[in-house]
Structure 1
Amino acid sequence: MGDAELGLSSDSDATPGDPGRMLLGIEVLDVDALLPRVADLGGDPGGGANDMPWGQRVAHIRDPDGNVVNLTQQL
């Protein structure tokens, strides 16, 4: 987006989802609409979404490899 770049690499010695030092946040239009799809796609939808005092609705999920991902929606 704009001037931003995202680089990903793979390390066969790393255990997916551990130790959890990386957190990917993805802004979406409707967090609640996407949560039901997470389990269908092999992830863990966690405990649902919450409204944060800074004006976002956030859901902490895990991808199929166990990595934490935040789905965020501007309120």
Structure 2
Amino acid sequence: MSTVQPVVLSPDPAVLLDFYTQLVGAVPTFRRPARGRAFYLGLRLGDTDLGLVHRPDLDVGTAPRVVLSIEVDDVDGTVARVEALGGTVSRGGQDMPWGQRVAHVLDPDGNPVNLTQPTPA
């Protein structure tokens, strides 16, 4: 069996750790090294693992390095907290014909994040 784990590169993964824990309830699971500036931070979002890797030479705002799609209980309520946590709202929640409410936001490093919520049939 194979699994895929998204890993986001960041010049300051601690900022992204704060963003994802506060916005969608991600839970820190792993840190290397144990002390000092972290090179790798592992998070758990529902049944998915997300890695944050320190890359000091990375230019924030360049081409996206990953697109995350995160299912939340309330798209609109989650979007309302994005800017206070350092992110940017690109497009607020919209109902899609395939049965999801979707919003597009950027995390503090400019990575695109789709926030999704199933809509009733």
**Normalised TM-score (structure 1):** 0.80
Q: CA RMSD in A?
A: 1.6
From 26, 41, 62, give the equivalent of 2:106: 62
Query: What code does the residue aligned with 1:68 have?
Result: P
- Aligned-residue sequence identity (percent) comes to 53
SS of 1:45's partner is strand
Structure 1 residues 38 and 9 mapped into 2: Cα distance closer, same or farther (>3 Å)?
same
Report the alpha carbon displacement of residue 68 of structure 1 after superposing the two structures with TM: 0.5
Q: Distance in 2 between matches of 1:40 and 1:8?
A: 21
Aligned residues: 73
For 1:30-41, what aligned pairs fall within 5 Å after superposition?
30-41=74-85
Unaligned ranges ≥5, structure 1: none
Matched, 1:44 2:88: yes
Q: Which residue in the other structure is 2:36 paired with?
A: none
Q: Which amino acid aligns with 2:112?
A: V
SS at match of 1:26: strand
Q: Which structure carries more helix by proportion?
A: 2
Q: 1:6 to 1:36 in 2, by over 3 A?
A: closer
Looking at CA atoms only, which structure, 1 or 2, has the larger radius of gyration? Answer: 2
Taking a change above 3 Å as real, the CA distance of residues 17 and 50 of structure 1, as seen in their structure-2 partners, is same
2:80 counterpart letter in structure 1 = P
Whose RCO is larger (CA < 8 A, sep 6+)?
1
Report which stretch shifted further, 9-18 or 20-29: 9-18
